[in-house]
């Protein structure tokens, strides 16, 4: 099921699209495909944080790094020093201001006052199954690491910005339940909505 909330203005010459969802929801995959389809630049908050972790000496090349003990150790370090996240978010905001971007981010939907914001909803069981397949983990290992990672991540953002990741969906214009959809069906549903908004806004511009 999909739903749209509120009104959004999309301008074909200066698109800003935010894709959000908990780990294992497929947000990175669909965000990259959206960027390719519409000729937009792709920026990932998670990739930016991993690059920062690499500079700090973490070995980030391991498959499923975020769910590893080292990835969780980096999360604990972020909890002690929230300036890591603030620095990354400020860079994402700069890229958003330039426009023509797709942002794969857990914070931008709340921090940006413009753009088209998409939330992918999936149960933790479905997400754990996907992460387990992706990273070569057992279901139990994936579920345990997701619960721990998301608890710490929510704490970081609640302390920094005051929103509850995964609970407050008020910023989003499009919410899609992806539990029973494959990645192609999710992508096609999102593109149908974006195409419709682009056409509608183009016609509104002609009639202004």
* Range from 45-49, 83-87, 123-127 that averages highest in pLDDT: 123-127
Q: Please check whether residue 76 is in contact with residue 56, taking contact to mean a CB–CB distance below 8 angstroms.
A: no
The whole-angstrom separation of Cα 172 and Cα 19 is 9
Helix, strand, or coil (residue 157): helix
The whole-angstrom separation of Cα 67 and Cα 51 is 16
End-to-end CA distance of the chain: 34
Per-residue pLDDT of 57-96, as tens digits, reads 888 887 777 778 888 888 888 888 888 889 889 989 999 9
Query: In order of start, what are the domains of the chain with their CATH numbers?
Result: 2-207 (3.40.50.300)
The whole-angstrom separation of Cα 102 and Cα 82 is 24
Nearest to 117 by CA among 35, 16, 1, 191: 16
Helix, strand, or coil (residue 71): helix
The whole-angstrom separation of Cα 174 and Cα 21 is 12
Statement: residue 171 has pLDDT above 90 = yes
**pTM attached to this predicted model:** 0.83
Statement: residue 121 has pLDDT above 50 = yes
Three-state helix/strand/coil letters over 28-86: HHHHHHHHHHHCCEEEEHHHHHHHHHHHCCCCCCCCCHHHCHHHHHHHHHHHHCCHHHH
The whole-angstrom separation of Cα 9 and Cα 39 is 18
Q: What are the structure tokens assigned to 25, written together?
A: 């929801």
């Amino acid at each position: 099921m999909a739903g749209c909330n509120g009104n959004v203005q999309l301008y074909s010459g200066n698109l800003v699209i935010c894709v959000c969802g908990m780990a294992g929801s497929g947000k990175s995959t669909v965000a990259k495909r959206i960027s390719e389809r519409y000729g937009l630049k792709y920026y990932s908050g998670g990739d930016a944080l991993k690059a920062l972790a690499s500079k700090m000496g973490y070995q980030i090349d391991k498959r499923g790094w975020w769910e590893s003990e080292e990835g969780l150790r980096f999360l604990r370090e972020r909890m002690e020093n929230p300036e890591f996240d603030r620095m990354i978010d400020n860079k994402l905001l700069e890229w958003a201001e330039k426009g023509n971007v797709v942002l794969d981010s857990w914070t931008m939907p709340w921090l940006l006052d413009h753009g088209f914001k998409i939330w992918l909803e999936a149960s933790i069981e479905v997400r754990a199954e996907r992460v387990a397949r992706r990273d070569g983990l057992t279901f139990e290992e994936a579920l345990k690491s997701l619960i721990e990672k998301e608890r710490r991540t929510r704490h970081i953002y609640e302390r920094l910005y005051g929103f509850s990741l995964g609970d407050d969906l008020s910023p989003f214009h499009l919410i899609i339940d992806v539990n029973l959809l494959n990645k192609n069906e999710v992508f096609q549903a999102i593109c149908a909505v974006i195409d419709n908004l682009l056409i509608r806004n183009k016609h509104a511009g002609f009639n202004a």
